[in-house]
Amino acid sequence: MLPLKIFIPICIIVLLNITSCGDSPSSIGSDLLKDDLITLQVIDSQTDSLPQSSHSFKKAVRLGNASRLLVGRSAGVEAASLIRFFFYFPDSITKEILNDQIQVVSSKVTLLTEYSLGEETSSYGITVHRIRNSWTQETFTSDSISLLQFDSDDVATNKVYDDSVHSFNIDNEMVKSWLQSVSDTAKPIEYGIYIKAENGTGRVVGYSAYTGIISAAPSLEVVIEKQGVYVDTLSFTPAADVSVVLGEIPDAGSENIIVMAGLTAKTKLYFDLSGLAKGAVINKAELTLFVDDVYTNTGSDYKDGIIAAFIEDSTNSDSTSYKIKLSGDGEIFIGNITVFVQKWLDSGSNQGMLLSAEDELNGLELFALKGSNAANVLQRPKLKIYFTNKP
C-alpha cells in the first residue's frame, strides 16, 4: 500500500489528465467527429416551397366480400342489393314438387339490420324485383348494373321495418317456380331478387350479409303444403348476395377532395419533392389531412381511418403497394408515411399516393377533406419531413 503523501499527488495527476482529454480532443479526434456530424433538417408543406396537387375520382369496387347488404339513398347516391337463395330439400319433396303436388302457402324474407346512415326520421322503404339473368357475387359491380335484367313489378308485400329486423313476403307463385326450377334440371335456373330503395327514401340501411353465420344471414322461410297430407316449413340462406352502389361523386365543395366507401371515391395526392437531395435520409415523414365537417357523412358503425397507398404506376389505379393507415384524430387524419418519401427519393420516381376509405365495402361513409387548392394554406394536405444530410 502506497504511503498517503505519495498517493495524493498521483490522484491529482490522473484527474488533470482526464479533464484535459474531455475539454480538448486531439486533432485526429476532431477530424473524426467532423466526418460524423449530421444536420437534422425539417421541411413543412405549410411553410416551405413544396408544391402539391390532388384530385378525386370514382372507381368501381367489388362489394361481394362485404359483411353487409346496403339499401337506400344518401347524397344523391343509391345503394341496392341482390340475393339468390340456395335451395335444398329431401328427395321425397323433390318428387312431389315435380309431380305438382306441393303448394306454397307463404314465403317470407327476413333481414337483420346492423347499420344506418342518415337521419333516422328520414323516409325509408324498399321494392323487390325478380331477377331474370345470371350474376355472380365475385364479379358484380356498379359497372354490371346495365346488364342486369329484372321485372319492374314489386313482388313484395307485408313490409315490416322494425328497429332490428326488416321483413317482407314475396310472391308465392314466384317461389314455387324457383322450387320447380331447382328440382328439374331441364328448367331455367332462378336468379333471385333485386332489392331497391323506394322513391323518396332519404337514408341507407345495412343488413347482415351471409358470411357463414346462418343465424345472422338473410333468410327465406317457405311454408309448403301437400294437401291433406302435411304442412312443412323450409328455411333457406343465400347462395350469393352482393350490394351495388350507383351514382356520381357527391358535390363536397370546390376546395375539397373526397374519399368515400361503397361508391367508391378515391383521391390521388401528390407532393413535388424535387427540392430534396436524393441521398437524404428520411427520419420521419408525417401526413396530415384536414376534415370538412360540413360535407363529411358517416354511419352508425364505421372505421374512422383512411388508407394511403404508394402508387407504383400512375396510369393504373390498381398498381399500389405499402398501404398505411391514417388514423382519425378529431378534425384530422394523420399517419407516418416515411417509407413513401424514402422510396420516392431512392427510386427517383414519385407517382404520388392513393387515398381510400379504410373500410370500402360495408357502408357509404363520405370523408370530405381539404384539398391542395384550399384557400387557407394551413388547411391543405400537410406533409412534414424530418431528414438528415451529411455535410
In a domain, 261, yes or no: yes
- In the prediction, which pLDDT does 30 show? 30
Q: Are residues 284 and 342 in the same domain?
A: yes
In a domain, 53, yes or no: yes
CA 221 – CA 243 distance, rounded (Å):
22
Q: Are residues 235 and 254 in the same domain?
A: no
Q: Are residues 214 and 255 in the same domain?
A: no
Task: Indicate the helix (H) or strand (E) that contains 95.
Answer: helix 91-98
Q: Are residues 231 and 104 in the same domain?
A: yes
In a domain, 14, yes or no: no
Q: Are residues 201 and 288 in the same domain?
A: no
Using the 3D structure, point to which of 223, 246, 269 is the last residue of a domain.
246
- In the prediction, which pLDDT does 38 show? 66
Structure-block grid coordinates of residue 311: 402508387
- In the prediction, which pLDDT does 6 show? 45
Structure-block grid coordinates of residue 192: 333471385
Structure-block grid coordinates of residue 67: 359483411
Using the 3D structure, point to which of 246, 266, 289 is the last residue of a domain.
246
The partner residues of 223 in beta bridges, in order of sequence, read 106, 233
Burial (CB < 10 A; 0-12, 13-18, 19+), residue 213, is: exposed
In a domain, 373, yes or no: yes
In a domain, 70, yes or no: no
In a domain, 176, yes or no: yes
Give the pLDDT of the chain (391 residues) as one tens digit per residue. Answer: 444 444 444 444 444 443 444 443 333 233 333 344 567 899 999 999 899 999 999 998 999 999 999 999 998 999 999 999 999 888 999 999 999 999 999 999 999 999 999 998 999 999 999 999 999 999 999 999 999 999 999 999 999 999 999 999 999 999 999 999 988 877 777 899 999 999 999 999 999 999 989 999 999 999 999 999 999 999 999 999 999 999 999 999 999 999 999 999 999 999 999 988 888 999 999 999 999 999 999 999 999 999 999 999 877 777 888 899 999 998 999 999 999 999 999 998 999 999 999 999 999 999 999 999 999 999 999 999 999 986 6
Compute the chain's Rg from CA coordinates.
32
CA 194 – CA 81 distance, rounded (Å):
6
Burial (CB < 10 A; 0-12, 13-18, 19+), residue 373, is: middle
Quote the pTM value: 0.85
**How many domains would you assign to the chain?**
2
Using the 3D structure, point to which of 229, 246, 263 is the last residue of a domain.
246
Q: Are residues 138 and 268 in the same domain?
A: no
Q: Are residues 83 and 218 in the same domain?
A: yes
The partner residues of 329 in beta bridges, in order of sequence, read 332
Q: Are residues 241 and 260 in the same domain?
A: no
In a domain, 71, yes or no: no
- In the prediction, which pLDDT does 240 show? 96
Q: Which amino acid appears at position 62 of this protein?
A: R
- In the prediction, which pLDDT does 320 show? 86
Please give the residue range of the domain that contains residue 258: 39-61+249-389
- In the prediction, which pLDDT does 87 show? 92
Q: Which amino acid appears at position 72 of this protein?
A: G
Q: Are residues 214 and 88 in the same domain?
A: yes
Q: Which amino acid appears at position 165 of this protein?
A: V
Q: Are residues 157 and 299 in the same domain?
A: no
In a domain, 122, yes or no: yes
Q: Are residues 134 and 269 in the same domain?
A: no
Task: Indicate the helix (H) or strand (E) that contains 43.
Answer: strand 39-44
- In the prediction, which pLDDT does 27 show? 32
Q: Are residues 335 and 224 in the same domain?
A: no
- In the prediction, which pLDDT does 319 show? 82
CA 324 – CA 335 distance, rounded (Å):
7
